[in-house]
Every structure is written in structure tokens, then in C-alpha cells.
């Protein structure tokens, strides 16, 4: 059996040993980088609930022309997130437009009202009133569908000829 000194004295063996040690150190560093810290199930569940809540409000936000529903702010509870998501949609509901949801303490009551407020927001977004607006929807298969809502005149009036009135006919004033 060869000793460590005899192995190192062989030509090229010292360099091979150094390469092997460098390789082992790189492998150890990569393994440390690949280790993922464990997250508690509670915080994972809060994030999943928050994502479900955001997905629930997203269609109402898109239909109302408000863009996407905002995500939960770090440290915000799901109850506060739901109240924050509900705030911009409340004025679109004729039934609950004057209700102050900050004073409603029971979240079950707020959630019951929220379903109707979301429906009212979707209906308000589909009304053909005001400026023409683009609403992009995604169906169940993931296809993007673009629809336009608003008064048709808002889009087409600029292409119409201006009104003309008859002032005279064969040299005679009409009125």
C-alpha cells in the first residue's frame, strides 16, 4: 500500500488531488444552495387562501375596467385583504353604495354582501354607457377573449360627417 507522501511524489498526482478537492468543495457549495428552507404550512395556507380570494375578485375587477385585482400586501390578513379588494367595487353597486364596510364587524356578513357587489360590478362593466373600454376575459381553456363595452357613439362619432343644415333653397331662405 502506498503512503500519502509516495502518492504525492508521483508525477501529476498532486494536481489531480487538488482538482478532486476543489470538485468536492464545489459539490458541497451547490448542495447548500439547493437546500430550501422549510415554510410552515400555516403561511403556505394563508398565501393559497389569498390567491383564491384574488382569483375570486379578478373577473369583477376586469369587467369594471379596474385591471387585475391587487395581491395581498405582506403582513395583511385575508380579512383585511378582502375588505381592500371590496372597496373599489362598492360604488358600482346600487344596493350597497352607501354602506361603510369598515363598520361591519362580522366577516360572514361582508362576504354575503361581497357576492352581490361582485355581480353588480360585472353588470356595471357590461353596460353600454360612457367611453369605449376594452375588457380581456380568459375562458376555461385559457384563451383570451377581447370584448369592448361602452357607447357606440364614443368610438364612431369622430368618423361621422358633421351635421349640415339647409339655409336656402333656389336662392330663397328656408327659415
- pLDDT tens for the chain, residues 1 to 175: 667 777 777 777 777 778 888 888 888 888 877 776 655 555 777 778 888 888 888 888 888 878 788 888 887 888 888 888 888 888 888 787 777 777 777 777 778 888 888 888 888 877 777 777 787 778 889 898 888 888 888 778 888 888 888 888 888 887 6
Helix (H, G, I), strand (E, B) or coil at 77: coil
Q: pTM of the prediction?
A: 0.56
Q: Residue 61: which residues within 8 A CB-CB, separation 6 or more?
A: 67, 68, 69, 88, 89, 121
Amino acid at each position: 500500500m502506498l503512503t500519502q507522501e509516495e502518492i504525492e511524489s508521483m508525477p501529476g498526482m498532486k494536481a489531480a488531488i487538488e482538482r478532486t478537492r476543489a470538485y468536492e468543495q464545489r459539490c458541497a457549495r451547490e448542495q447548500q444552495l439547493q437546500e430550501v428552507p422549510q415554510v410552515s404550512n400555516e403561511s403556505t395556507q394563508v398565501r393559497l387562501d389569498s390567491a383564491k380570494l384574488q382569483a375570486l375578485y379578478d373577473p369583477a375587477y376586469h369587467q369594471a375596467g379596474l385591471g387585475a385585482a391587487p395581491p395581498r400586501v405582506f403582513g395583511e390578513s385575508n380579512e383585511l385583504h378582502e375588505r381592500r379588494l371590496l372597496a373599489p367595487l362598492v360604488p358600482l353597486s346600487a344596493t350597497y353604495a352607501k354602506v361603510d364596510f369598515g363598520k361591519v364587524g362580522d366577516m360572514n356578513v361582508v362576504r354575503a354582501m361581497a357576492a352581490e357587489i361582485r355581480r353588480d360590478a360585472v353588470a356595471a362593466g357590461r353596460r353600454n354607457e360612457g367611453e369605449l373600454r376594452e375588457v380581456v376575459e380568459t375562458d376555461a381553456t385559457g384563451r383570451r377573449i377581447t370584448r369592448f363595452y361602452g357607447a357606440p357613439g364614443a368610438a364612431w362619432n369622430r368618423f361621422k360627417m358633421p351635421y349640415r343644415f339647409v339655409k336656402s333653397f333656389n336662392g330663397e331662405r328656408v327659415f
